[in-house]
Amino acid sequence: MAKKVIRGAKETKVSDYSAKEIQVLEGLDPVRKRPGMYIGSTGPQGLHHLIWEVVDNSFDEAMAGHANTIIVTLLPGNRVSVEDNGRGIPVDIHKQFKVSALELVMTKLHAGGKFGGGGYKVSGGLHGVGVSVVNALSTYVKAEVKRDGYIWSQEYKLGKPQHKVKKGEKAKGAGTTITFEPDASIFETVVFDWKTVIDHLRQQSYLTKGIKVIIADEREEARRVHAFYFEGGVASFVRHLNHKKAAKHENVFYIFKHDDASDIDVEVALQYTEEYHESMYCFTNNIYNPEGGAHLIGFRAALTRELNTYARTKGILKEKDDNLSGDDVREGLTAVISVKLRDPQFEGQTKGKLGNPEARTAVEAVFAEALKIYLEEHPKDAEAILSKCLIAAEARRAARAARDTVLRKGALEGMTLPGKLADCSNRDPHKCELYIVEGDSAGGSAKQGRDRDFQAILPLRGKILNVERARLDKILHNNEVKNLVIALGTNIGEMFDLEKLRYHRVIIMTDADVDGAHSSATSPI
């Protein structure tokens, strides 16, 4: 009798697990089996990632100096075409695999011209994702290549070639056009969003200056065309990001330099605004890295060090003063950091974070040198930037003091909670509810109708503060916010501890009419 292994309520025989249970997924089958591993998700973000993967190849051609025009067209039937005037994917027979290089690129994972370094110096594609993945996740794909004086083409269904690469009519020039239709059985939706496409391609255009990008929507419900062409690089990008914000200084800092030691191109632009939050955008070979990585670490280190050095040198910071913190020097900052390197190492298939340590060294060295010169040559800008940083530092210290006051008050008073709070008698947070109501009159009515055992009532003045646009010190000086923090019991900021939450149900009560809608909230304070 076979030995049994118990997994919870389910029993399986050890003898059932044998060689026949081992699956080998060939070709593009792994992509269809686990699409999320390759494009992040099967929702709208993953759907649009298909366009980005094809477009990345076109931008790689542009960065290599072989293309200057890219056309993206949203077609009827949820199809998309991406065309460039680059060199065109090779169509000659590959010696090892005995098929056209075009078919190889379209049907084999990790096939492309970006490994050996001969095809591209830098590239944004690859890392397990590329046009072959788009092919795998599409019901239909057509690849057309203008090369060697002819048009070459091949069609695919569910990643499988429908015929050999065909040699068509004669044609001048060169380039590649990929048309694909996402598989509706894989994606939650196959409808592409115009704004999402526009925003991404605008961003890419800023990162590859001097390239014309045309986006056309030929779907019946909305026919439109948009085009981008920027000469200013990421400096233009920063101006765009800040066009609705009040800038602290007129000039946008900009540096583009090749770091010989690491063979990395470093491009940085920044400008401070009156905002309280930082906006940082990091890119590697034109690929957005939402989690930052080595280049962001290098940028932050250089920024904090150089601003502190300048402030000390000019006597803005005295000997007795503490250094400005990283948070102080980044408040209100809009910055774009872009690096281009040969062999990018990303953490994760979707390239969210750059791992190359040499990128940190390159960015830190190039940016530090350029920022030092900029501050010396633009004293008015330097004064405006340091003024912003010093105010942020002062606010940080005030916020810490206010926070400590709130926390001390909560700790010292213990069960002596805010005077307006009508607490419940039960002390089990799982069973307790807190009702937040607007005004004393509403609070009185709520108190009369509550169950004193598990329902607590906290009246608050309406429209207390727009915390999204306020610093922490101002937030914590507000009595209504103080009362709310103490009543909930979780502390705030670095001291936040969800385990100390006194009520596991918090209900925000509003009037049952349109006028009461302003009291509702969609996110926690």
Comparing CA positions, the residue from 465, 455, 469 lying closest to residue 485 is 465
CA dist 449 and 504 (Å) reads 20
In sequence order, what are the beta bridge partners of 269? 254, 336
Q: In this structure, what token pair is assigned to residue 23?
A: 């699956």
Torsion of CA 474, 475, 478, 479, to 10 degrees: -140
Q: What angle do CA 92, 93, 97 make, to 5 degrees?
A: 145
Query: Is-contact 361 262, C-beta < 8 A?
Result: yes
CA dist 425 and 264 (Å) reads 65
CA dist 48 and 41 (Å) reads 10
Q: In this structure, what token pair is assigned to residue 264?
A: 């990395």
Query: Is-contact 282 289, C-beta < 8 A?
Result: yes
Torsion of CA 409, 412, 416, 420, to 10 degrees: 0
Query: Is-contact 56 122, C-beta < 8 A?
Result: no
**Which residue in this structure is represented by tokens 């203008």?**
146
Comparing CA positions, the residue from 503, 488, 511 lying closest to residue 437 is 511
**Taking the CA atoms of the chain, what radius of gyration do you get in angstroms?**
29
Q: In this structure, what token pair is assigned to residue 100?
A: 């056209």
Provide the annotated active-site residues: 438, 511, 513, 515
Query: Is-contact 253 268, C-beta < 8 A?
Result: yes
CA dist 452 and 64 (Å) reads 72
CA dist 266 and 264 (Å) reads 6
CA dist 82 and 196 (Å) reads 16
Comparing CA positions, the residue from 187, 127, 181, 192 lying closest to residue 159 is 181
Q: Is 89 strand, coil or helix?
A: coil
Comparing CA positions, the residue from 168, 162, 110, 166 lying closest to residue 140 is 162
